[in-house]
Amino acid sequence: MPAVSPDPCAIVLATLNAKYIHASLGLRCLAANMDTHGGPGLRAQTRLREFVIQQRPTQIVEDLLGLSPQVIGFGVYIWNVMETTQVVRLLKALRPDISIVLGGPEVSHETREQEICRLADHVITGWGDVSFPKLCWSLLHGPRPLMKVIAGEQPPLAELALPYGEYTDEDLTRRLLYVEASRGCPFKCEFCLSSLDKTAWAFELDRFMAQMQLLYERGARNFKFVDRTFNLKVDVSVRILEFFLARISVGDAAAAPDIFVHFEVVPDSLGDRLKDLIAQFPPGSLQFEVGIQSFNPEVQQRISRRQDNLKTADNLRWLVAHSHAHVHADLIFGLPGETLASFADGFDRLHALAPHEIQFGILKRLRGTPITRHSDDFAMVYDPQTPYTILQNSTVDFVTMQRIKRFARYWEMLANSGRFVRALNMLLAPGSAFGNFLNFSDWLWQETGKTHEFAYEKLVDLLHRHLTEARLLDDALVRAALLADYQGSGARGRPRCLAGLLDAAARQPAPMLAESGQARSERQARHVAQGLLAFEIRRAAAAA
């Protein structure tokens, strides 16, 4: 028997996060409702345990068994299902008497095909706020349930206890806090699990805002809203924005804001009331994730995505030019019927709008999503292993798909890192930004044969070689651009192509980036400081 911990419990709520900085909102929703929907005293018998996917399964199992639980519930997602399966396999081998309960989007569909579901004692599909506490009470006090797969009960949101009191002081000071003003989504984009929702449901606003105030009073300063459609109802959006704006000191332009708020917005719906508020937020305080996915009208219609492309472009243009918000725009490659040429057109269109980051994703077949209805007509072949990315389809063959996956990885390293603003603009112009970067991606793969583990100094030298040898650009101009980027990054190494210039620059004061607020990522700081410069460079190039 494992050693009993000083604080044993009956129930453990556990998950494997991608990184420590992520704090699971789902676990805290379950914990907050243990007494409300399970039974008196159940919360006191429950412990939360969060791990990261990089930890050894034996280490995780030792920690869990040290709590001597009778029930362990796991939150299972596309990013942790393989590692969680290993943990569950070990637990059932060591302690088959412990009831293992699974929940989360990855196990809410296609349960019969999954090893982890076969290993577990119970699987709750869909919402677990009510069903998990009820199941735990039955497992501890009887009668034990007969069903292995339990359809989650979806109650009115007013009946749910809010989870924000479950965040610890350590969470507030060291982690990104996830919050939700609403659940669900009214849109039906077929690649997304939210397409299965009937609509969006909002939490009672006064109740939600009271919880945000309590978090703020406790010291919370980083808030990531997981709402799929934050700006769906303008009155709600306005009140939330006013709440955070009122807590940011905007009088002193030199003072860095200590609040950071992230929202996912509908790209073609940004009225004047919202714009007026957004424009008042200082640099480093506001981030928008803008889902574009595709600018191809035929593809949009095929996957049931409603989007006014002209309004979307206008709103993005406004955000970049007239606000300090950090704009993160999403595209998906591999959608049914999208060709390499049509995607390139959409990429170039988005790039010309100058968002601070273009998140270039590859289509994934999330379990349960309606995207599978196109599998036969468009010969969609997906990787059977997580994260189930598209391998090929009728318009993009496997070899091309591999090229684009490398493009996406290199784009993340060079463009989204914010460390190559000047050199990147030299790389992407003139002509098609997509075509120019694809050529660089192919060249980089041929030269190195790898997509990871690039030292920053090595990337500087490789980019110099490509721009001067493959693109035949002026060596002095290339080095000057790379030097400015390198100094602005704060790096302290010595790329070979800059050795002489760095020696000379060492005798002069180096430019410094402005701070962008407490707990703000260096990456965003670079984008905030340099984003308008990049926009002006692109706009000037387009005018020429």
Q: Give CA–CA dist 278/333, Å, rounded.
A: 30
Q: What are phi and psi of 498, to 5 degrees?
A: -115, 5
- List the helix and strand counts (H, then E) for the chain: 20, 16
Residue 531: its pLDDT value, please? 41
Whether the model clears a pTM of 0.85, i.e. scores above it, the answer is yes
User: Where exactly are the structural domains of the chain?
Assistant: 11-158, 167-396
The structure tokens listed for 64 are: 């869990």
Could you write out the DSSP letters of every residue in 340-379? Answer: HHHHHHHHHHHHHT--SEEEEEEPB--TT-GGGGGTTTTT
Contact in structure between 289 and 328 (CB atoms under 8 Å): yes
Q: Give CA–CA dist 130/252, Å, rounded.
A: 47
Residue 525: its pLDDT value, please? 53
| Cα distance between the two ends of the chain | 75
What is the rounded radius of gyration, in angstroms, for the C-alpha atoms of the chain? 25
Q: Give CA–CA dist 349/316, Å, rounded.
A: 11
24 secondary structure, DSSP code: -
Residue 191: its pLDDT value, please? 93
Q: Give CA–CA dist 30/57, Å, rounded.
A: 24
Q: 11-158 domain in CATH 3.30.360.10?
A: no
Contact in structure between 80 and 107 (CB atoms under 8 Å): no
Helix, strand, or coil (residue 44): helix
Residue 284: its pLDDT value, please? 92
Residue 249: its pLDDT value, please? 66
Contact in structure between 346 and 294 (CB atoms under 8 Å): yes
SS (H, E, C) 380-445: CEECCCCCCEEEECCCCCHHHHHHHHHHHHHHHHHCCCCCCHHHHHHHHCCCCHHHHHHHHHHHHH
Helix, strand, or coil (residue 115): helix
Contact in structure between 426 and 478 (CB atoms under 8 Å): yes
Superfamily of segment(s) 167-396? tm_1862 like domain (3.80.30.20)
Residue 523: its pLDDT value, please? 52
Among 223, 282, 222, CA closest to 255:
282
Q: Give CA–CA dist 175/245, Å, rounded.
A: 21
Residue 357: its pLDDT value, please? 96
Residues forming beta bridges with residue 14, ordered by sequence position:
49, 74
Q: Give CA–CA dist 300/511, Å, rounded.
A: 44
Per-residue pLDDT of the chain (544 residues; tens, 9 = 90+): 334 444 679 999 999 999 999 999 999 999 999 999 999 999 999 999 999 999 999 999 999 999 999 999 999 999 999 999 999 999 999 999 999 999 999 999 999 999 999 999 999 999 999 999 999 999 999 999 999 999 999 999 999 999 999 999 999 989 989 999 999 998 899 999 888 888 899 999 999 999 999 999 999 999 999 998 899 899 999 999 999 999 996 554 445 578 999 999 998 999 999 999 999 999 999 999 999 999 999 999 999 999 999 999 999 999 999 999 999 999 999 999 999 999 999 999 999 999 999 999 999 999 999 999 999 999 999 999 999 999 999 999 999 999 999 999 999 999 999 999 999 999 999 999 999 999 999 999 999 999 998 999 999 999 999 999 999 999 999 999 999 999 988 888 889 999 888 777 666 654 444 333 333 445 555 454 444 333 333 333 333 3
